[in-house]
A and B are shown apart, each in its own frame.
Chain A
Amino acid sequence: MDWLTTVDHKKIGILYFAAGGFFFIVGGIEALLIRLQLMFPMGANGESWFLTGQTYNEIMTMHGTTMIFLAAMPLIFGLMNAVVPLQIGARDVAFPFLNSLGFWTFFFGGVLLNISWFTGTVPDIGWTAYAPLSGSEFSGTGSDYYAIGLQIAGIGTLVGGINFLVTIINMRAPGMTFMRMPLFTWTVFITSGIILFAFPALAVGLIYITFDRLFDANFFVTATGGNAVLWEHIFWIFGHPEVYILILPAFGAISEILPTFARKRLFGYSSMVFATALIGFLSFMVWAHHMFTVGMGDIANALFGVATMLIAIPTGIKVFNWLFTIWGGKIQFTTAMLYATSFIPTFVMGGVTGVMLAIPPADFQFHDSYFVVAHFHYVIVGGIVLSLLAAVYYWWPKMFGRMLNETLGKWSFWLFFSGFHLTFFIQHFLGLWGMPRRVFTYLPNQGWDTANFVSTIGAFFMAAGVIVILLNVIISIKGPKAPADPWDGRTLEWSIASPSPEYNFKQLPLVRGLDAFWLEKMDGKKEMTPAEPLGPIHMPSASILPFFMSLGLFIAGFGFMYRGYEFDSAFINNLFGNNIIAICGLAITLVCMFLRSVYDDHGYHIEVEELQKEG
């Protein structure tokens, strides 16, 4: 019950981790099924050895959608929640209630999407859901699950992004100027800005597609004068920034972990900040590089090609700054550091293929081939997942107050890392040999058989790595208690107990420079200098309303999806057909919103005596 009503950012962070981790496993199982199917080519009479085309397409669609929206996003949000308020010396996020609402809408959106596995109509349109394939003429209820599920989950991301923007602007500890903010906080700040502009585009696109499907509108239906390419533009003007929403906090985590374990401050801090902001800006300028083959013409292709190449410059600045951060340092290879250092070459490999894809005439050959699959898995798994795992090992003690096992950690690293390269490196060649992506089978003797077999073996190594991580998490429940500062950290979160108390900082710390805690330690102090006298701390009240608001949307989503569906029972038909279910769902949400508006809850205070009692 406590978990359903919590508004504490640390607990919400853990909820995001649990849900995101669960969906990561689901998406991973889907990935294994995909690789298993592609292990062998088509049989002599055209038969597929394992999955049918339809099932494969469903799994492929859900793998992409789950990994991006339900695994990577929430894990990043989990990290943001767990770390950012601590790093800036705040007691909570700006809007704790909204934070909880954000989690629950994501959660119910994700559940809605995955319920499609049990109703037998799974999205089968690819994670990009290109029209008119995603329209009602060419696809079934699965596409409604996609549009409505992501719509609900997207609300969570949008309110989360706004929340973190306000938190970082308003709630920094005394003395923490923008240019003294830890780089992870900086990247979260820029990411939140990107979310603010990118997610409304997705929301609008999904509304259009929902209206097309449910109410016979014709935004994308070409037969009645709609424009199919319009969806591609809307999708990618969201979709391209989306990958930067994911990768920037990953960059931030790397920029925290490398200095800690190399015992050096981040090389070129201000250029890192500048590069982050520049990448954030450019991320909106290059969406059409996903559409070189759409037929936009030479001018648009050349323009977007060159704009895309430009992203290599700020990214390159970052890579060299990381290299020179560890250069001359005293590197200690903990599991977190192993993941963080392995990120650098892996991400560079993904980055250079990105520049190759930015060349329009060459992209005519690469586009929609396995070269692209290899590229974005190098960026998303090699970039985001490796740094997320680094971050998990790094901040785990702070989040849970327990240490993860280092030996198991290293096992998991080597299994995952070698499995990753085994799986995806060879896919570059598959692409160059002409294998299109999103195919459920392929004709034998095109030179692809061995490479696909090898790739599948690699996927199982990755799966073994993930199993070891799970094992490590389970063991850590009874593992050794974590000290406040296990890694000799540099930023504020390490100056308080692990796990941190619910009010985070008894007294807000005074920040005297970048790497505030490290500065204090260098001056021979054990903790931060307080910026205020000890006083009562205001805390927000827990609330169940966010849970019910999201539940209402979830029910309404179902109501809309099945409004035109023929059920066996006339009663149920009546309920759905007359939108009664949909209206009930919306009513629940609106009543909760009303209650939230009229009922003033000022929270409560933790008094000084209580604080002193705790030590």
Chain B
Amino acid sequence: MNRWHLWKRIIPLLMVFSLLLTGCSLVGQGSNPIDPKASVAEEQYGLILLSIGIMILVVIVVFALYFYAIVRYRRKPGDDSIPKQVEGSHKLEIIWTVIPMILLLILAVPSVALTFSQDEDYSDDPEVIQVKATGHQFWWEFEYSDLGIYTAQDLVLPVNQRVQFELTSSDVIHSFWIPAMGGKMDTNPGMTNLLYLDTPAEPEVLLGKCAEFCGESHALMDFKVKVVSQEEYDTWVANMQAPAAVVEADVKSGEELFKQNCMSCHAIDAGTPGLGPNLKGFADREVVAGYLEMTDGNIFEWIKKPEEFKGKTVEMPAIPLDDNQFNDIVQYLKTLKLE
């Protein structure tokens, strides 16, 4: 009778947990720390697995003792007896002090080792690609310091290559994160941080994010990492370094408008940083503004009223043009392809 009573209480609990565990079957997609695509993320994933293993062990032991105790030692109705007033047990207390110490040691040794090995600095290594990544409200600027290339939002890298990032910020604190390639590092204004990552073995497009809350459109500060074959990468570098091609006659008016209104901030050759995002190869980018599909409509809406997409902190000034003129600029921007 009493046993039944008690199961009535355990069953809803078990139901809750089974519902929660269904969460495990859902698989995350896109850029994902537990689906590592490159060595740094893989090493970190190994530590994550080790720690999850130890923690599940601890949780199982505690849960077993706990459920046994609350099931076994319930007070029966009418039972007014007083249990033995136990003070404690030195033996038991020493056991549950020493065992966690051992578990923590097992965890601490590889943690410390990896903390040091992942903090290597490859800034002077000629084999390693050097990239300066700068966080802005709310976009990313990448400078390939050895190649003299500036670009924004799309980070192009070759496969199987180590990349040394030099991270900083132009305004507030952001955090540079490509989950599938490795952990994040903050970009602090007035300081530089170093972080190296390896690229995947196969060509992929990975999602990068800003992880530190940086204001109104923090959530929209995504970027794309295009990992391509070595040949494609070399071609891309050559194209970026080449001067811009002469535009066709039908977008001449767009080019004119762009030069008058946009050029003071947005460079279209990769050698110049510019105040706003560098637009060389703009039409090749995966998305507009880091998250919108690359369509004429989205480009149009975005350049016309950026503040409606990324909030009032976007510093792009209002441009006094009519819709046709905006359209001309869109047509011009679409010609900003490499090759």
Are A362 and B44 neighbours in the complex by a CB distance under 8 Å? yes
B159-207 residues with Cβ-Cβ distance < 8 A to A are 167, 171-173, 175, 177, 179-180, 182-186, 188-191, 193-194, 207
Q: Chain A residues near B28 (CB, 8 Å)?
A: 429, 432-434, 446-448
Asked whether B30 lies within 8 Å of A313 as measured between CB atoms, the reply is no
Q: Let me know if A295 and B185 touch, CB within 8 A.
A: yes
| Residues from 401 to 447 in A contacting B, C-beta threshold 8 Å | 414, 418, 421-422, 425-426, 429, 432-434, 436-443, 445-447
Residue B62 contacts which of A124, A222, A345, A366 (CB distance < 8 angstroms)? A345
Q: Is the interface of B mostly helix, strand, loop or mixed?
A: mixed
* A263 adjacent to B26 (CB under 8 Å): no
Q: Is A323 in contact with chain B by the CB < 8 A criterion? A: yes
Residue of B nearest to A291 (CB): B186
Given known pairs A133-B213, A359-B51, the reply for A429 and B115 (CB within 8 Å) is no
Q: How far is the CA of A443 from the CA of B30 in the complex (A)?
A: 11
Q: Are B210 and A313 in contact, CB atoms less than 8 angstroms apart? A: no
Chain A CB within 8 A of B237 CB: no
B272 at the interface (CB under 8 A from A): no
**Taking the complex as formed, is B108 at the interface, i.e. its CB lies under 8 A from any CB of chain A?**
yes
The reply to whether the CB of B119 lies closer than 8 angstroms to some CB of chain A is yes
B188 touching A362 by the CB < 8 A rule?
A: no
CB of A317 closer than 8 Å to a CB of B: yes
Q: Which residues of B contact A320 (CB under 8 A)?
A: 65, 92-93, 96
Distance in angstroms from A353 CB to nearest chain B CB is 7
Binds A, one of B75-83, B238-246, B316-324: B75-83
Q: A309 contacts the other chain (Cβ, under 8 Å)?
A: yes
Which residue of chain B is the closest to A365 with respect to CB atoms?
B33
> B189 to chain A: which residues have CB within 8 Å?
132, 222-223, 228
The verdict on B249 contacting chain A, using a C-beta distance below 8 Å, is no
Identify the interface centre among B58, B69, B193: most chain A CB within 10 Å of its CB: B69
A421 to B214, CA, bound (A): 30
Cβ of B180 to closest chain A Cβ, rounded Å:
8
B17 at the interface (CB under 8 A from A): yes
Chain B residues near A124: list those with CB within 8 A: 215-216
Binds B, one of A268-276, A495-503, A593-601: A268-276
CA–CA, A353 and B58, complex, Å: 11
Judge if A18 is at the interface, Cβ distance under 8 Å.
no
In the complex, residue of chain B having the shortest beta-carbon distance to the beta carbon of A522? B82
**How many Å lie between the Cα of A440 and that of B217 in the bound state?**
8
Known: A46-B291, A364-B182. A434 touches B309 (CB 8 A): no
A residues 296-333 near B (Cβ < 8 Å) are 297-298, 301-302, 305-306, 309-310, 312-313, 316-317, 319-321, 323-324, 326-333
Using known A-B contacts A271-B93, A295-B185, A451-B23, determine if residue A361 contacts B44 with beta carbons closer than 8 Å.
yes
Residues of chain B lying within 8 A (CB to CB) of residue A52: 311
Complex Cα distance, B210 from A330, in Å, reads 53
Please, which residues of chain A bring their CB within 8 A of the CB of B177? 436
Question: Are the CB atoms of A356 and B48 closer together than 8 Å?
Answer: yes
Interface status of B87 (Cβ within 8 A of chain A): yes
Interface pair A317/B96, CB less than 8 Å apart: yes
Q: Is A57 an interface residue (CB 8 A)?
A: yes
Q: Tell me the bound Cα distance from A327 to B86 in angstroms.
A: 10
Query: How many residues of chain B get a CB closer than 8 Å to chain A's CBs?
Result: 106
CB distance from A547 to the nearest CB of B (A): 37
Please give, as numbers and ranges, the residues of chain A lying within 8 Å of B101 by CB-CB distance: 313
Q: Evaluate contact between A426 and B20: CB separation under 8 angstroms.
A: yes
The prevalent SS among residues of A at the interface is: helix
Number of residues of chain A lying within 8 A (CB) of chain B: 105
Q: Are A434 and B59 in contact (CB under 8 A)?
A: no
Point out the residues of chain B lying under 8 angstroms from A441, CB to CB: 219-220
Asked if B263 is at the interface (CB within 8 A of a chain A CB), the reply is no
Q: Which residue of A has the minimal Cβ distance to B47?
A: A362
A residues in contact with B229, CB < 8 Å: none
Residues of A within 8 A of B88 (CB): 267-271, 321, 324
What is the bound-complex CA distance between A323 and B100, given in angstroms?
16
User: Which A37-60 residues have a C-beta within 8 angstroms of B?
Assistant: 42, 44-46, 52-54, 57
Q: State whether B104 touches A312 (Cβ < 8 A).
A: yes
Select which of B13, B83, B114, B190 is within 8 A of A222 by beta carbon: B190
Q: Which residues of A contact B191 (CB under 8 A)?
A: 229, 295
B190→A228 contact, CB < 8 A:
yes
Interfacial chain A residues near B104, Cβ < 8 Å: 309-310, 312-313, 355
Of B13, B65, B107, B167, the residue contacting A355 (CB under 8 A) is B107
| Bound-complex Cα distance A54 to B48 (A) | 34
Across the interface, do B73 and A327 meet the contact criterion of CB distance under 8 Å?
A: yes
Q: Are B212 and A368 in contact (CB under 8 A)?
A: yes
A362 to B100, CA, bound (A): 20
Q: Once the chains are docked, how many angstroms separate the CA of A355 from the CA of B51?
A: 8
In the bound complex, CA of A222 to CA of B180 (Å): 32
- Docked pose: A407 CA to B189 CA in angstroms: 56
- Contact status of A439 and B219, CB under 8 A, knowing A332-B75, A446-B28: yes
- A507 vs B186: C-alpha distance in the bound complex, in angstroms? 61
> What is the interface of chain B, defined by CB distance below 8 A to chain A?
9, 12-13, 16-17, 19-20, 23-24, 26-34, 41, 43-45, 47-48, 51-52, 55, 58-59, 62-63, 65-66, 69-70, 73-75, 79, 81-89, 92-93, 96-97, 100-101, 104, 107-108, 111-112, 114-116, 118-119, 137, 167, 171-173, 175, 177, 179-180, 182-186, 188-191, 193-194, 207, 209-220, 222, 291-293, 298, 309, 311-313
14 extra interface residue pairs, beta carbon distance < 8 Å, beyond A345-B63, A447-B32: A139-B215, A228-B172, A264-B86, A294-B186, A306-B108, A316-B96, A324-B92, A328-B86, A329-B73, A353-B55, A361-B118, A365-B45, A421-B20, A433-B34
The 8 A-B pairs of least Cβ separation, nearest first, read A364-B183, A433-B28, A439-B219, A295-B193, A268-B88, A447-B28, A352-B55, A298-B119
Q: Can you list 19 pairs linking A and B with CB atoms under 8 Å apart?
A: A54-B312, A138-B172, A229-B191, A269-B88, A295-B186, A295-B194, A305-B115, A313-B101, A327-B69, A345-B62, A356-B52, A364-B184, A365-B44, A365-B45, A366-B33, A369-B33, A437-B213, A446-B30, A446-B207
